[in-house]
Structure 1
Amino acid sequence: MTPPVRTRPDHESGWLAPTRLRRAVRPLLTSLPVAAAVRGAVALALPLLVGVFTGWVIPSVIAAIGALWGVGQDGSDPYRSRVLRFVALGLAAAVGMTAGEVALRSGQSTAVAACLGVTALVAGAFSLRGPVASVAGMHLLLGATIGSGIPVPGPWWQAPLALLAGVGLVLVLSATPWLWRRHHVEQAALFAVYRAASDALGAAGTTGAAEARRRLTDALDNAQHVMGRYRTPRRHPASDARVDGLVTAFHLAVRLAEAVTTLLWEGRGLPPVVTSVPMLMAVRLLPGRHDGTVPGLPDREDGTVPGLPDREDGTVPGLPDREADSPGLRALAHVYATADGERIDDATLHVAASPRPGRSVHLRYAVLLAGCVLAAQLCAELLHGPRSYWLPMTVVFVYKPDFGPVFRRALHRCVGTVVGVAAIGAVSLPAHSTYALIGEVAFFGALMAVGVRHHYALATTGLTAVVFVLVDLLGDHRSLYGPRILDTALAAAIVLVVHFAVWRDSATSRADIQTEAALAAASRYRDLSPGVTSAERQALRRTAYRQLADARRAAGHARREPVRRDRTQPDWEESITTAEQLCDAVTGRSLGAGP
C-alpha cells in the first residue's frame, strides 16, 4: 500500500550552504522568548515598586502574586484567547481568595479545611472541560489556598482586588501589541505551516519523511486553532482585506499539506526548485513574514528574496506544471497556481474535535483532587500549625493530569523547587535592600516566563524563588529553605500515592479513547465516497490527521507514567502509525483521481 522509502544523500552546493547555515542557526536565535521574559520581569517588579513608593506594600505583594499566576499562563496564542484566559484566571482566583479569606478570618481550622475541600470539588468538576476551564479551576483553588493560608490585614475585599489587578497588568502587557500587530499571531502560525511544508518536501524520499509530515500536521493543527474565529462566516458585509488574505492562505495551506503528503507517500527525492514552492507561496501570501531567504533557491546579490517570476503563462522555470508525471506534483502545481491568483473554494472547514473525558472522569478527578488537598492541609497543620499554604498549593500545581504525565510533573516540581531554593538562597546573601529584592523578583520572573515555554522544572525554579521573596516582603522572615523542599516532596508523594493507588489507569484509558477515536476517523477518511466534494474530503482528512496526532501525544503521556505494563496492552504507536500510512495512501489515491 505504501511505496518503499528511498534514501538519498544531502546535496549541498556552494550557493546553498549559507542558506542551510542560516536555517540551522535561526531556531537557536528565535527560541528564547525575549518579549515574554520582559513581560514577566515588568509584571512582577512594577507592583512592588509601586508599593514601595506609595507605602502600600501588602496590596502590592498580593498584586505581584496575581501577576505571578498571570505570567504562568501567558502565551503566544491569539490575543482574543489570551484575554479570555486571563479574565477567567483573574475572576476565578479572586473568588477563591475571597472564600479562603473568609474561612481564615473565622479562626476555625475546620472552616479552612471545608473551604479547601469544597473549592477542590468545584475546581476538579470542571477543570477537564477545556483549556480555559482548566486554568480557571486551578486558579480558583490556588486563590482559596493562598487566601486561607496567608493572613492579609485590611478589609476582606482588598486582597482579591489587588490579586485581580496583578492579573490585569499581565493581560495589558500581553495583549497591548494587538494595537500595532493585530494579525501577527495568525501570520506567524500560517508561516510556520509553509515552512514545515518546505521542510517536509526536503525530507521526501528519506527516512525522516514520516516525522516531517507529523511536524507539518502539528503546524497545521496550530494554524487551524489560531484561525478558528476567522473561518466561520463573517457577520458583517464589510470585508477586511488582511483577514481575507489570511483565510485564503489558510485554505491554501490545507491543500498544500494534502499535496505534500502525497509527494511524501510517493517516496522519491525532490529537487530544490520543488521544495521551495511552499516558501515562494508564503512570500506571496504572507508579506513581511519571510526572513529574506527561500530554502532551495539562491539569494540575489542584494540579499532579497527572488520572489515569483513574472511569466505570461504563470509558470516558473523548473517548477512542475499541471501535466506533471505524478499526482503529487500535479496537486502541488495546482495549489501554486491558486496562490498566483486563482479563486478557491472558501467553504468552512468543519473538523471534528477530539473526544473529551466523560462525567465519571470529571467526578473521579474532583474527588481525588479534594482528597489530596485535604491530606496536604492536614499534614501542613501537623507540621507547621495554622496558616500554612505551601503543601496544598503544591498539590494544586502538581495534580493536573490534563497538563501531561502526573509523575513527570511531580518530579519536575521537586527538581525545580530544589534549584529555586538554592538559587534564591545564593542571590539573597548579598541583597540588603528592598530594591535588590525587587531586582531578584524581576530576574526570576523572566526566568519563569522562559520556563513556561520550555520546561516545567525551569518555570518552577523561577516561581519558587519569586514566592520566597514575596513572602519575605510580607514580613515572614523565617528560614524556610529546608521546610519548603520537604513540603514539596511530601505534596508530590501525596499526589502520586493517591493517584496511582486509585486511578493508575487514567493515562492508559485516555490513550485508549484517543486512539480508538483516531482510528475511527481514519476509517471514515478511507471510506469516503468517490463523489465527495473537495471541502468534505479536506474535512475528513484534517479530522483524521488531527486526531491521530492527539492520540500519539496521549500515548506518549501514558508511556511516561510509571505503571506496570500489561502484556496484552495494545501498542498504540503501532496502530497510529499504521493508520497514518493508511491516510497517506488514501490521500495519494484521492489526488491521483483528480485535484
Structure 2
Amino acid sequence: MTPAAHGRRGRARKGPAPAGPRRAVRARFASFPLAAALRGAVALAAPLLVGVLTGWVTLSVIAGIGALWGVGQDGSDPYRSRVRRFLALGAAAAAGLAAGEVALRSGHPAAVTVCLVVAALLGGAVSLRGRVASVAGMHLLLGVTIGSGIPVPGPWWHAPLALFTGVLLILVLSAAPWLWRRNHDERAALLAVYRAASAALAAAGTPGATDARRRLTDTLDNAHQVMARHLAPGRRPEPDPRVGDLLTAFRLAVRLAEAVTTLLWEARPLPAAVTRVPSVMAARLLPGRGGTAPALPDVEPDTPGLRALAHVCAAADAEWTDDAALHVPAPPRAGRSAHLRYAVLLAVCVLAAQLCAEVMHGPRSYWLPMTVAFVYKPDFGPVFRRALHRCVGTVVGVAAIGAVALLTQDTYALIGVVALFGALMAVGVRHHYALATTGLTAVVFVLVDLLGDDRALYVPRILDTALAAAIVLVVHFAVWPDSLTHRASARTEAALDAALRYRDLSPVVTPAQRQALRRTAYRQLAEARRTAAHARREPGPPGRRLPDWEETITAAEQLCDAVTARSLGATASAAHTASAGSSARAKRE
C-alpha cells in the first residue's frame, strides 16, 4: 500500500472474497484458447490429408511444416498484426528453404554449412529489431535447416511454394474472423480494462490495491497496443461509426484509469455504487447485441478521486471532443554492438551444431541446427529456461509419439494424431513453451514418418536436443552472460526517465498531454518490471549481485501515482511526491 494510506480515516476492509470453485472453473475455461486449438488441428491435418489423397506426400509434408511454424506464431493480437507477422514468416521461411535446397542440390560438402552460417548471421542481425523482424530472422534460419536437410524431388521452387502455402493456410484460418467480427479484439481488450478498473476500485483501501493497479495498467497497455493503428498521428477518421465508439471508449478508459489511480492513492474503501461504475460505463460504451444502456450510479464527489470519477461519468454521456492521439511508446532497442554480438554467437552455435550433426548423423541432420534456431532467442525470454523447457518438451513429445506408434501405424490415424498434437501446440504457445514443444516434437515425428524415414530416431532426437541446448548455453554464458541484465537496466532507466518527465511536465501541459505522458510512464514501467523478472530467472555465477530494479521501479510507480493524484487535486500526498521523486533519482544514481 502506498504511504498515503497512513493516517486516513475509516477502517480498511479485507480484500475481495476469493472466487468460488465454479467461478474459478469458468475462468479457466474462458481462458482456454479453443479457437486457436481448432486452428492448429485443422492447419496441420488438412495438408497431410490432401497429400495422402493426391499422392503428393512430400510436398504436403513441407506444407505441414509451414503450417506448423505458423501455429507457433499464432496469437490473439489484432488481425492486421497477425497478417504482417505471418507474411514475414512465410516469405523468410520460403526464401531460406530455397537457399538451403540450392545448397543441398549443389553437391558441395561445405555448401550446406556455409548457407547455414550465413543464414544465422542474417537472421541474428535482424532478430533484435522487433517482433516481426525477430520472427522473420528465426524462420529464415529454420527454412535453411529444412531445405538443406530434407531432399525434395522436382523443381526447386515446389518446396518453397508448398511451405508458403502452409503458412497462408494458418493465416487464413487466423484472420478469417475479421470478415464477420472486424473489431472483436479491440472490443475485448477494452472490456478487460473496464473490468480491471472495477476490480481495482473494489481493492481500494486493502493491501491488494497496488497489485490491482498494476493489473489495470497491464490491461490498459494491451488495449493501447490493440488500438494503436486507430491512434496513428494524422490518421483520417474512420467511416465506420463502431471505430469511433471504440476510440471514445479507449480515451475514456485512459481518463478512468487516472481517476482509479487517484482513488487507490486516497486509500479509502469505496461503496458498491462506486466500484460498479466502470462496469456500467462499459455496458453503455460497448453494449452487446440487444443490450440496454444502464444508468450510471450517482457518485458523491467528496474527494478529488471521486470528483475525477464523476467527471469521467459525465464525459461518458457527452460528445467527445478531445482527439489528442496517445502513441504507443517504443521500448529501447539494443544497439548495433548487441545485434552484431547476437548474430555472431548464433552463427557460432549453428556452425557447432551442424558440424556435430554431420559427424553423428550424416544426411538429414537438420534437428541440431533447427533446435539451436528455436532455443537461442534471448528476445523471447531467458535462454536457460527456454533451453530447459525445450528439452523437457522433447522428452515428453518423444514418449507420447512412441506410445502412439505402439498402438497404430495407420496413416489416417497418424493424421488424426497430428491434429491432436497441433491443437496441443497451439495451447502451449499461449501457456507454456514446454507444452508447445511437446506438440511440435510429436508432429515432426509423424511428418518424418510420412517422408519414409524409417530410422529409429527417438533416442537420437532427445540427445540432439540436449546437445543443441548445451551448445547454446555454453556459448551464450561464456560470451554474453549479461545480455538480459543490460536490457533490464536499459529499460529501467528509460522507464525512470519517463516517470520523471511525467512529474516535471504534468503541471504545465494540457490534460490530454498529461494523460499521454502518464500512459508512456506506466507502460514503460510495466515493461521494465517484466524484463527485470526475466533477468532474474537467468542463472549466473555464484555470488552474483543484480541491481535492485524492482525497488527502483516501485519507487517510480509510487511517484507516478502521487503525480496523478496531485494532478487531479489530491494534494494531501504532495510531500510524498517529492520524496518519491528523490528516491527514484537516488536509485538511478
Q: Taking structure 2 as the reference length, what is the TM-score of the superposition?
A: 0.93
Question: SS of the residue aligned with 1:109?
Answer: coil
2:385 to 408, 416, 421: 408
Q: Describe the SS at the equivalent of 2:110.
A: helix
Partner of 2:4: 3
Q: CA deviation at 1:234?
A: 6.4
What is the CA–CA distance in structure 2 between the aligned matches of 1:497 and 1:199, rounded to whole Å?
A: 46
Aligned residue for 1:527, secondary structure, equals: helix
Going from structure 1 to structure 2, the CA distance change for 1:25 and 1:264 (only over 3 Å counts) comes to: farther
Once the two structures are superposed, the pairs formed by residues 36-185 of structure 1 within 5 Å of their partners are 36-185=36-185
**TM-score by structure 1 length?**
0.92
- Could you tell me how far apart the structure 2 residues matched to 1:419 and 1:568 are? 35
Residues of 2 paired with 1:11 and 1:256: CA distance? 21
Question: Structure 2: how far apart are the matches of 1:268 and 1:158?
Answer: 67
Residue 174 of structure 2 corresponds to residue 191 of structure 1: no
- Tell me the distance in 2 between the aligned counterparts of 1:556 and 1:548: 12
> Residue type matched to 1:85 in 2?
R
TM alignment of 1:128-527, pairs within 5 A: 128-232=128-232, 235-236=235-236, 239-288=239-288, 307-309=293-295, 316=297, 319-321=298-300, 324-527=301-504
Q: Partners in 2 of 1:342 and 1:413 — Cα distance?
A: 53
Q: Deviations over 1:451-505 (max 9, x none)?
A: 0010000000000000000000001021111000000000000000000000001
For residues 424-456 of structure 1, what are the alpha-carbon distances to aligned partners after superposition, in whole Å with 9 as ceiling and x for unaligned? 111221113110110000000000000001000
Quote the Cα distance in structure 2 between the aligned partners of 1:21 and 1:212. Answer: 21
8 Å CA contact retained: 2:72, 2:429: yes
Q: CA contact under 8 A between 1:205 and 1:264: conserved in structure 2?
A: yes
Classify 1:105/1:574 alpha carbon distance in 2 versus 1 (closer, same or farther; 3 Å).
same
Give distance in 2, aligned partners of 1:465 and 1:440.
9
Q: Secondary structure at the match of 1:8?
A: coil
- What is the CA-CA distance between 1:535 and the residue it aligns to? 1.2
Number of aligned residue pairs: 566
Helix, strand or coil: the match of 2:456? coil
Residue deviations 1:385-429 (CA, integer Å, cap 9, x gap) = 133000000000000000000000000000000000001111221
Cα deviation code 1:183-205 (max 9, x no counterpart): 00110011111111111111111
Paired with 1:162 and 1:586, the residues of 2 have a C-alpha distance of 56
Alignment partner, residue 546 of structure 1: 523
Q: For 1:567 and 1:574, how far apart are their aligned partners in 2?
A: 18
Provide the residue aligned with 2:512 in structure 1: 535
In the TM superposition, what is the alpha-carbon distance from 1:564 to its structure 2 partner? Answer: 2.8
1:204 aligns to what SS in structure 2? coil
Name the SS for the 1:585 alignment partner. Answer: helix
Q: 1:413, 1:445 → 2: CA distance?
A: 17
Please list every run of 5 or more consecutive structure 2 residues that lacks an aligned counterpart in the other structure: 572-589
2:449 and 2:104 mapped to 1: Cα distance?
20
Mapped to 2, the partners of 1:465 and 1:567 lie a distance apart of 39
C-alpha contact (below 8 Å) 1:391/1:487 kept by paired residues: yes
Q: Could you tell me how far 1:7 is from its partner in structure 2?
A: 4.2
Query: Aligned AA for 1:259?
Result: A
Deviation at 1:566, TM superposition (A): 6.0
8 Å CA contact 1:412, 1:457 repeated in 2: yes
Q: CA deviation at 1:346?
A: 1.7
1:533-580 CA distance string (max 9 Å, x none): 011101111111011001101100000000137666420001101110
Q: Which string of whole-angstrom CA distances, capped at 9 and with x for unpartnered residues, describes residues 309-344 of structure 1?
A: 3xxxxx63xx314xx121111111111111123434
Q: Is the 8 A contact 1:2 1:585 kept in 2?
A: no
* Structure 2 CA distance for aligned equivalents of residues 238 and 69 of structure 1: 34
Q: 2:551 aligned with 1:574, yes or no?
A: yes
**In structure 2, what is the Cα distance between the partners aligned to 1:238 and 1:198?**
30
Closer/same/farther in 2, CA of residues 238 and 381 from structure 1, 3 Å limit: closer
Contact 1:201 1:263 in 2 (8 A): yes
SS at match of 1:350: coil
Mark the CA change 1:279 to 1:24 in structure 2 (over 3 Å): closer, same or farther: farther
Cα gap change, 1:557 to 1:237, in 2 (>3 Å): closer
- Partners of 2:53 and 2:328 lie apart in 1 by 53
Whether the 8 Å contact between 1:70 and 1:171 is mirrored in structure 2 is yes
Cα offset for 1:233?
5.1
Q: CA deviation at 1:305?
A: 8.1
The DSSP-based 3-state class of the residue aligned with 2:155 is coil
- Structure 1 49/30 Cα, relative in aligned 2: closer, same or farther at 3 Å? same
Deviation digits for residues 487-528 of structure 1, max 9, x if unmatched? 000000000000000000101011110111111111111112
Aligned twin of 1:292: none
CA contact (8 A) 2:225 2:328 kept: no
1-structure distance, mates of 2:508, 2:496: 23
In structure 2, how many angstroms separate the alpha carbons of the residues matched to 1:272 and 1:278?
11
Residues 507-516 or 340-349, more deviating: 340-349
